[in-house]
Each structure stands twice: as C-alpha cells, then as structure tokens.
Amino acid sequence: AADVLGAALAGAARVARAVLAALNAATVATAGQRGYHLLWYASQRGVTCIAPHVGTEQTFALLEEWVPDPRRPERDEALGILALRYFRSHGPTTVQDLARWTGLTVTDARRGITVAGDALATVRVEGVPAVVDAALLDAPREPVDDLHVLPGFDEYLLGFKDRALMLDPAHQQAVIPGGNGVFQATVVRGGRVVGTWKRTIGKTRVTVAVTPLVPFRAADRKRTEAAFEAYGRFLGLPLRFTW
C-alpha cells in the first residue's frame, strides 16, 4: 500500500483522497475502515503527509516532495522542542499530560522540560505543579470571555487527562456520554465548556441544535450563532438553529 501510494503521489503537489482508487486498482482493498488505516500507515512510515484541504476535500502529498529538506534534531533537542511546543499550546498542565499526549515515558518528558530550560516555567494550579510557556507569565491578567464552537474530538479536551479546568465534572456525562471515548461537539466560553451541539446537513441548509449546559442569555445565543458563520461558509449552506 505504501509503495502504491508513493507512486500515485509522485510529482503531484496535492492529490485528493481519490488516491484510494490507486490502491483498489492495485488490488489493495480499501473497503470499510481499511482505506483510512492504510493512509494512516503510509503517513507513519513517512511516505505521505496530509496537505491543505481543497474546498471540503482532504488531500495528501508525498512527504519527500512536500518537505524536501527536513530538519532532523538530535534526540535531546527533539525532546526539548516537543516539550516547549506542547506546553506552549496546552499549558499550564502537568508532565504526566505531556507523557500521555506524546507516548513518551515520564523520564523522557522530564528530560524534554529540562532541555527547554528557561523557555518553560513551573507554576501551581490549584496546588498542583504545572508547566507553562514562560512568556505567558508576563501576559496581561485580564478576564477572557471568548467564545468558540469546537468539534467533538478537538484537542482542547482530548489533550488532557484531567479536564477539570475546562469541563465541570457535573457536565462530563453530557460531553462524554457513558465515558466511552466519544466526545460531543462543544460550545466553549471563557475557557469553559458551556454547551454541546449537533448538526444535520440537508440539501439546502444545515440545522445546528445547541444544548446549553449553563444558562444562556439572549446575547450568549447571538454570539454562539455568530461563531458558526465560518462553518456555514465552509459548507456553502445557510444555517438554521434550534435551542
């Protein structure tokens, strides 16, 4: 499969998911979930990589053509880069979360933090030691009241083992029904999950059903609906809301 995909992508800047047809033509079956796993396998082998969408279509590229001159840091440097980038995008959080997210041992996670040096700082969050991008220590301490509508498997929740900072334990059942690993799409305000949403795509419009987990004022509903505007543009369909 990796050989066929490599040949199909050679010389192409971006090729759509239709490359699966090349696998079928080579008698490599892609039915069910098999095609997905073959694409995953080829990327893990360093043959392919995900390229930018073309409209709503997922695309792939040959990695050696997309990144012809990759940087290859030594192991210690790589651990430091990984730790810095994780905590810059996820912090403040714990060394255990870094290990869990990356699949590293806790020992290697701690080594990465050490290598990152002064670029990372240790703080305490509700009495628990946590690591954060040191640059954030000087950031203005102003209340955050942003609002986002996120997909079900967004990194904002999946990136952590302890989600108490983002999700009230009383709402966990609504967001992760049955605790079976299937996350509902969420509405996040000021960093906290305040609702869930589902969408039904029809021929002429998309119906978005929003379920608040906390009281929503009229202004909150208006802001939530405005947050979906980009999603409607992406789908090329008008939106209808139910609450």
Mean pLDDT of the chain: 90
Query: Residue 185 in 3-state DSSP?
Result: strand
Q: Percentage of residues in the chain with pLDDT exceeding 70? A: 98
pLDDT band at 18 (very low <50, low <70, confident <90, very high): confident
The residue among 32, 48, 66 that closes a domain is 66
What band does 40 get if pLDDT is binned at 50, 70 and 90? confident
Closest residue by Cα to residue 194 from 178, 226, 217, 161: 217
Once rounded to an integer, what is the mean pLDDT over residues 136-158? 87
pLDDT, residue 16, reads: 62
Query: Do residues 197 and 187 make contact, with C-beta atoms less than 8 angstroms apart?
Result: yes
Residues 153 and 134 in one domain: no
Q: At 83, which CATH number?
A: 1.10.10.10
Structure tokens that stand for 231 in this block: 């999603």
Domain count, the chain: 3
| Res 143 pLDDT > 80 | no
Strand partners, 133: 120
Tally helices (H) and strands (E) across the chain: 11, 10
Q: Are 238 and 172 part of one and the same domain? A: yes
Amino acid 159: pLDDT: 83
CATH of the domain at 29: 1.10.10
165/171: higher pLDDT: 171
**E-only strand ranges, 110-233:** 120-125, 128-133, 147-150, 185-189, 192-201, 206-212
Q: Are both 82 and 113 inside the same structural domain? A: yes
Element (H, E) at 53: strand 48-54
Same domain, 108 and 176: no
Both 60 and 133 in one domain: the answer is no
Last-in-domain residue among 96, 116, 138: 138
**Per-residue model confidence (pLDDT) at position 171:** 95
Give the three-state DSSP class for 240.
strand
Claim to verify: residue 117 and residue 179 sit in the same structural domain: no
Q: By residue range, what is the domain housing residue 113?
A: 75-138
